[in-house]
Amino acid sequence: MRFAFAAIAAVVLALGAAVVAAEEEKPYRVEGNRVDPGTYNGYRRYGNSCLACHGPDGAGSSYAPNLTESLKHLTREQFNEVVINGRQNVTAAQQNVMPAFGQVEDVVTHLDDIYAYLKARSDGALGRGRPQRLDN
Amino acid sequence: MLRRLAVAAVAAASLWAGGASANEELVRLQRDPNQWVMPTGDYANRRYSELNQINRDNVRNLRPAWSFSTGVLRGHEGGPLVIGDVMYVHTPFPNRVFALDLKEPGRIIWRYEPTQDPSVIAVMCCDTVNRGVAYGNGMIILAQADTTVVALDARTGEERWKVRNGDPAKGETMTAAPMVFGDRVLVGISGGEFGVRGHVTAYNLRDGSLAWRAFSTGPDNEMLIDPQRTTHMGQPVGPNSSLQSWQGDQWRIGGGTTWGWYSYDPQLNLVYYGTGNPSTWNPVQRPGDNKWSMTIFARDANTGMARWVYQMTPHDEWDFDGVNEMILADLNVRGQQTRALVHFDRNGFAYTLNRENGQLLVAEKYDPAVNWATRVNMQTGRPEVVREFSTRQGGEDRNTQNICPAALGTKDQQPAAFSPRTNLFYVPTNHVCMDYEPFRVSYTAGQPYVGATLSMYPPRGEQNMGNFIAWDAAQGRIVWSRPERFSVWSGALATAGDIVFYGTLEGYLKAVDIRDGRELFSYRTPSGIIGNINTYMHGGRQYVAVLSGIGGWAGIGMAAGLQGDQEGLGAVGAYRSLQNYTQLGGVLTVFALPTN
């Protein structure tokens, strides 16, 4: 009896975890090139605050990384940490500095949306170019 | 030979003893085709050389003579100076300066590297470029990214004086090359994307003390504007011309930065430059004409007082900075010999003005794709904006589509050349359009204050993203045009050998026939070229020098390209990617004809 109970509990937990994990892995909703409002907002906020260094569509520039690659191995927490605190890679061979956006209202209040947009791009769910809004 | 020796002796005397006044010395030196004594080649910004040892008939034989790595892997704008036997090479951040011995190419006589807080990198919107050092009175003047202006002994590299021109904590940085004129040096300021209030400043060459500073926005006395004497389109600008064109205190974070090139007419004693975009990129947040952003200024070199102004893009809605070079050329315009000023603006119009009084003579599109305005009204000087391409009419949170040119303009800072032999201009251009969506943003000191997002692409139905053109500024028309795969982002050089040089973003140095643009020479340098091509003589041979090192705003297209025009978003298109053609670099290549 206890064994079955534990088994059921494990299954429920696993299902729950799977559901939670699925939500965490997909902070966006994409159909073709149409995206949910949060992700669309992320596209615009990205363009305002990040594009100048990280290039169109998160694809990188000669002096800032390709974020569609970066987000393949950054957790959401790590992403938030870098954006909020900034990062410096300054050596004899390179001088790459990302500013800290922790005090920048236009970024921190939309951080989840920016993440959602970049994650959609990184997952290959959303192609390059301006997305359209999903009608909902 | 004797003349060359005499010039070298004068240069040497100035270097060693700092004797003659900088004004006369530089006015004389800038006429010497054997040397390249200022970033712009000469005060008129012509980028023209009388040297013709390399010419139309033999340029195909040009080959690298020597090369030098700067040790920096960011965008390399500008080009080296050559004074006597010494070449001065500058770099992007950390802004190294090298004095190279031309008698023993590659030997470094001295090197200088300032110590700067690397956090300044974070507030440089468009890569950590630097457009070059200036020479005057035995000193090399460097404008650092962190806004320090330092004067170095040209012989030893030792610091003579140092002054702070701005504050990176407010988003102020510097990228432009200084200009020495008289016994002063002129510098600008960058940061239009950070709400910086633009200004130009003249420092005394002797000790770095302040001579005058003129703001681009605000009260007349801070702008060094005389309401009765300073004219716009022939009329006095009147009191508070700037303040009246802004809502409330917006002018304090008003932009109008001054990061482009400066020119100087020693006879009229006027200094010329243009101002950048008004912050923010969201026009709805800053009603009014936003004077004097996007403006050509002519200022008295002694006092800084504005003689005349001309605003090219009132109430900018597209980020068409007005900072591109002001080329001073004497042209025959409609039968009248005119002391002209010719300016290829970001907004796609090429302007010809009378540089004495600011009279507008010609304003025509130098790329047929330009569509945001139909024409410039020659009575008022105002562009007639097409509603469909007005991002303000489109409104906040609405995407205005297919505006040509894109924000990076039909031409950005990469300077054009003029040949007095043809009386034509040779212009590196961008052929790119955009969608632009403004939205509301808040201002925080030292943080980006942009307020728009854009997508960029070649004009509909076209493949090439650049053209190199020949332009008749008297008539306002294109004479010939060469397409290029990517934007042509290098500074051009025209010579009496009847050739024009330019560099491509793939890294090619090219020479074309000045008559028709036919390609005569092409060589693949180590990295994409966003620098300016210079030429000089040494030991009886003519050399052509260019910095390679992709970056700058062009670096944005580096990793995966500006998006190509496609049918149906989300489809996998053939995006043209600059990274398929080049990688980062930082190399000076010097070319010459073979000795036999």
B559 at interface of A, judged by CB pairs closer than 8 A: yes
pLDDT of B568 reads: 33
The single-letter code of the amino acid at B558 is M
Residues 6+ apart with CB under 8 A from B315: B278, B283, B286, B287, B288, B289, B290, B392
CATH number (domain holding residue A11)? 1.10.760.10
Look at residue B486 and give its three-state secondary structure.
coil
Q: Chain A contacts of B399, Cβ < 8 Å?
A: 130
For each of chain B's 596 residues, which pLDDT tens digit applies?
A: 444 544 444 444 444 333 334 578 999 999 999 999 999 999 999 999 999 999 999 999 999 999 999 999 999 999 999 999 999 999 999 999 999 999 997 799 999 999 999 889 888 877 899 999 999 999 999 999 999 999 999 999 999 999 999 999 999 999 999 999 999 999 999 998 888 999 999 999 999 999 999 999 999 999 999 999 999 999 999 999 999 999 999 999 889 999 999 999 999 999 999 999 998 778 888 999 999 999 999 999 999 999 999 999 999 989 899 999 999 999 999 999 999 999 999 999 999 999 999 999 999 999 999 999 999 999 999 999 999 999 888 888 888 889 999 988 999 999 999 999 999 999 999 999 988 888 777 777 777 777 777 778 888 888 888 999 999 999 999 999 999 999 999 999 999 999 999 999 999 999 999 999 999 999 999 999 999 999 999 999 999 999 999 998 877 765 444 454 343 332 223 345 777 889 999 999 999 999 87
**The two structure tokens encoding residue B456:** 């960029």
Residues 6+ apart with CB under 8 A from B145: B93, B95, B116, B120, B121, B124, B128, B130, B173, B174, B175
Dihedral of the CA atoms B342, B344, B345, B351 (nearest 10)?
A: 40
Q: Are strands A95-98 and B63-69 parallel, antiparallel or unpaired?
A: unpaired
Domain boundaries along the sequence of chain B: 2-592
Please determine, for the modelled complex, whether the ipTM score is greater than 0.85: no
- Do residues A5 and A103 make contact, with C-beta atoms less than 8 angstroms apart? no
Query: Domain range for residue A82?
Result: 2-133
Please count the structural domains in chain A: 1
pLDDT at A5 over 80: no
pLDDT of B438 reads: 82
CATH node for B2-592: 2.140.10.10
Per-position DSSP letters for A51-78, written without gaps between them: HHHH-GGG---SSS--HHHHTTT--HHH
Interface contact B447-A48, CB threshold 8 A: no
The C-alpha atoms of residue B136 and residue B186 are separated, in whole angstroms, by: 12
Interface contact A52-B584, CB threshold 8 A: no
Q: What is the pTM (predicted TM-score) of this model?
A: 0.91
The C-alpha atoms of residue B373 and residue A120 are separated, in whole angstroms, by: 37
Q: Chain B contacts of A33, Cβ < 8 Å?
A: 568-570
Interface contact A127-B571, CB threshold 8 A: yes
DSSP lists the bridge partners of residue B548 as B587
CB atoms within 10 A of CB B480: 18
CB atoms within 10 A of CB B442: 13
Note the pLDDT tens digit of each residue in A90-131. Answer: 887 778 889 899 988 889 999 999 999 999 999 999 988 888
pLDDT of A123 reads: 95
What is the spatial order of strands in the sheet that B134-136 belongs to? B134-136, B139-143, B148-153, B159-164
Taking an 8 Å Cβ-Cβ cutoff, which residues of chain A contact chain B? 32-33, 43-44, 46-49, 51-52, 55-57, 59-63, 66, 86, 88, 90, 92-101, 103-106, 126-132
**The two structure tokens encoding residue B307:** 């003689």
- The residue whose two tokens read 């009388």 is B50
Average pLDDT of every residue of chain A: 84
The C-alpha atoms of residue B201 and residue B211 are separated, in whole angstroms, by: 8
The C-alpha atoms of residue B190 and residue B97 are separated, in whole angstroms, by: 21
**The two structure tokens encoding residue B338:** 């005119």
Helix (H) / strand (E) element for B501: namely: strand B499-503
Quickly state the pLDDT bin for A25 (edges 50, 70, 90). low
Measuring CA to CA, how many Å separate A59 from each of B41, B121, B126, B433? 37, 20, 16, 19
